[in-house]
Structure 1
Amino acid sequence: MKFEIRCEHCSKGFLVDEQSLGQGFPCPDCHSPISTTGVAATSGPEAAAPLASASATATATATETETATLAPPAVGQVVCPRCSLHFEPGSQESPRGAPARPTVLIVEDMAYFREIASDALKDNYEVRTAETRQQAYDILRGGGIDLMVLDLTLDGGESGIDLLRSFPEKPCSILIYTAKDESEMYGDSWDELHRLGADDIVIKGMNVGESLARKVDSLLGIEPDGEE
């Protein structure tokens, strides 16, 4: 013998074998638990007919039950539209309440020097990279960059200086990252870079990763042990 079972949550009806009634089971459609208390026995072929006509009544009954039993959510809580449970959204803070790490943008067209800079900084900073002036410009316009490591000579004849000129105001701290001879980077050249917002220079050479990390730490006010 089969019994007609109706889900109080989604109002869908189902035919269930007699031996399944005592076990309890979830609704095949919405997966909510279905109550088997007080169901009426019907024959298999006849059970499908009343399902559609009873839909409005079942929906109204479920709505009335929810209205009577559900309390409004507390301040800061949200309600699941399917199961009506109340819960508080998860926190967006960093794990264990740790402050967010500063973000450094490395603008460098050569993969070798881009990797050196990224490896030197990734333990203490969030690192983003750009290979072209346009990529760097788009990232800086989006905000969230604390310091930019900038190569002066980019692929395709682009210039890091032109990137600096693109911003009417200094977008972040700026560390020049160049393979030019040190003697070329002072005097008038440095005066122009400083006027455009550059804070310091790292010359690509021996142990450049260590020099880069030290200067980034200094510009962002980070102590050697990683604390600000």
Structure 2
Amino acid sequence: MKKVYESAAAALDGVLFDGMLIAAGGFGLCGIPELLIAAIRDAGTKNLTVASNNAGVDDFGLGLLLQTKQVKKMMSSYVGENAEFMRQYLSGELELEFNPQGTLAERMRAGGCGIPGFYTKTGVGTVIAEGKEVKNFDGQDYILEKGIFADLSIVKAWKADDTGNLVFRKTARNFNPPAAMCGKICVAEVEEIVPRGSLDPDMIHLPGIYVHRLIQGEHEKRIEQRTVRKREVA
């Protein structure tokens, strides 16, 4: 099965459709599938629901899809750093489903494992629990959270072989593995594709069984928040 494609646009060809649910990996600007996001923007696919920890910044990452108003709903745990996100949400242009961070990751992982739902204490007694089933176990209340089954997963890894085995680097190994697992189709972008058999099996973070399409590309290394000291004058 051929998994390697020459570009993000080619890897998404025949996959995108209006109204789809997309699970996107990454945290802030770390480990985000920037090439695939740009290709979705260029394709003009609209009315998207996107499950992602956050929505990038105004001019980068998922913020690009907010600028073009291709996203109708975000399923997120953190919505800071993006003024356009805030503007659209407060004006009623964008739906928002808040998820505690661990709950969002587990909903993705559950979907990838074929688990339709699970109970968690996180959010009990808060607005997170509104409209959700509450069940008591050993004297403690838990709320039912549903697994996420996405139409498409887009993730970014450090290295891959041509079978789709993925290695993530440091913090990029946050939402990327569970996001990759929960999509009917998973498209991954990587910094380097290495020969088959050259990856240490013990270092593979996500097996290729989850990855359907793969691209290699150049990535921009942005810093989300830069903090520096004033120069000391002797």
Do Structure 1 and Structure 2 share a fold, with TM-score over 0.5? Answer: no
Q: Which has the higher contact order (CA 8 A, sep 6+)?
A: 2
Decide which structure has greater helix share: 1
State the TM-score, normalizing by the size of structure 2. 0.31
Report the TM-score, using the length of structure 1 for normalisation: 0.32
Question: Of Structure 1 and Structure 2, which has the larger fraction of its residues in strand?
Answer: 2
Structure ID, larger Rg: 1
